[in-house]
Amino acid sequence: MLSRLISSTRGIPERSDVPQHIAIVMDGNGRWARKRLMPRVAGHKRGLETVRQVVRLCVEQGVRHLTLFAFSSENWRRPEDEVSFLMQLFMQALREEVKKLHKNRIRLRVIGDLSRFDGELAETIRAAESLTRDNDALTLTIAANYGGRWDIVNAVNAMLAAHPGRRDGFGEEDLAPHLCLADLPEPDLYIRTGGEQRVSNFLLWQLAYTEFYFTDCLWPDFDSDAFARAIDSYRKRERRFGRTSEQLVAAPLKQD
């Protein structure tokens, strides 16, 4: 397991036809609802069904890790009633789905600054994580109140605390273990639905060599065909990690 956790900047991660780790910015719920003259929150509700379907597809197709951006550290800027609807939906989904996830051997984790969530939600998250912690069919990570900058600053603080008094400078390998998702391979594929072509403060460090796939498809419309198109696009990419195409042809698996 550990041999697969090669940092993309310090070695060459293994390549496989099926991405081992997919990270998704599930965007476009509000627009999906507005197009149908429904309130924005109806889009979030419908988006949850897409989550169920994408989780199923990942398990079926042998994707090992799926990381979903559910709520960014900047999403608190939204109208209060939308934020509170999203929190309730998250809580309800955790409560309703956790048994099913467990039955399907899915390990659920939540990354982000949980200190801003109310106590009941934080407790529900901890209970779901502890119930599913030994499952191995898929790691499903939900990023909630997550920000890539928060993640990096948090990791820097943890690194400094782990090395009190050290003055000789730090390297990537000192920081990396303190970042969220440090125990998973870096994402192979980043998908963003909803037509915007940006990262919106998602996994800033972890996406260093990830393949990006943007689609206009709104998240509630992201079905198995749309998922298949994303995987297909990924398969056609040449992942060079800084090398030339010629080097890849000569020694595709050479590590450094």
Active site residues: 27, 75
- 148 or 185, CB closer to ligand IPE? 148
Over the Cα atoms of the chain, what is R_g? 19
> Which candidate, 212, 215, 237, 211, places its Cα nearest to that of 226?
215
x-or-dash string of contact with ligand IPE, 80-119, rule CB under 6 A: ------x---------------------------------
The least distance separating ligand IPE from the CB of residue 40, rounded to whole angstroms, comes to: 6
Q: Which does 20 bind (CB under 5 to 8 A by kind): Mg ion, ligand IPE, none?
A: none
The least distance separating ligand IPE from the CB of residue 75, rounded to whole angstroms, comes to: 5
Q: Which two tokens stand for residue 249?
A: 């042809």
Residue nearest to ligand IPE (CB): 30
Q: Does 185 bind ligand IPE (CB under 6 A)?
A: no
Q: Which does 97 bind (CB under 5 to 8 A by kind): Mg ion, ligand IPE, none?
A: none
- Cβ burial, residue 125 (10 Å; 0-12/13-18/19+): buried
The two counts, helices (H) then strands (E), for the chain are 8, 6
- 27 or 211, CB closer to Mg ion? 27
Spatial distance between the Cα atoms of 121 and 223, rounded to a whole number of angstroms: 29
The least distance separating ligand IPE from the CB of residue 234, rounded to whole angstroms, comes to: 20
What is the signed CA dihedral for 182, 184, 189, 195, rounded to 10 degrees?
-60
Spatial distance between the Cα atoms of 125 and 135, rounded to a whole number of angstroms: 16
- 176 or 180, CB closer to ligand IPE? 180
Alpha helices by DSSP H, listed for 104-218, are 119-132, 148-162, 172-175
Q: Does 75 bind ligand IPE (CB under 6 A)?
A: yes
- 222 or 234, CB closer to Mg ion? 222
Q: Which does 200 bind (CB under 5 to 8 A by kind): ligand IPE, Mg ion, none?
A: ligand IPE
What region does 145 belong to: left with phi over 0, alpha with psi -120 to 50, or beta?
Answer: left
The least distance separating ligand IPE from the CB of residue 196, rounded to whole angstroms, comes to: 5
3-state secondary structure of 70: strand
Residue with the two structure tokens 């990690």: 241
Distant-in-sequence contacts of 161-168, Cβ < 8 A, 24+ apart: none
Residues 10-69 that bind Mg ion (CB under 5 A): 27
**Of 31, 45, 56, 239, the one binding ligand IPE by CB under 6 A:** 31
> Which residues make up the interface to ligand IPE (CB under 6 A)?
25-31, 69-72, 75, 86, 194, 196, 198, 200
> Which residues make up the interface to Mg ion (CB under 5 A)?
27
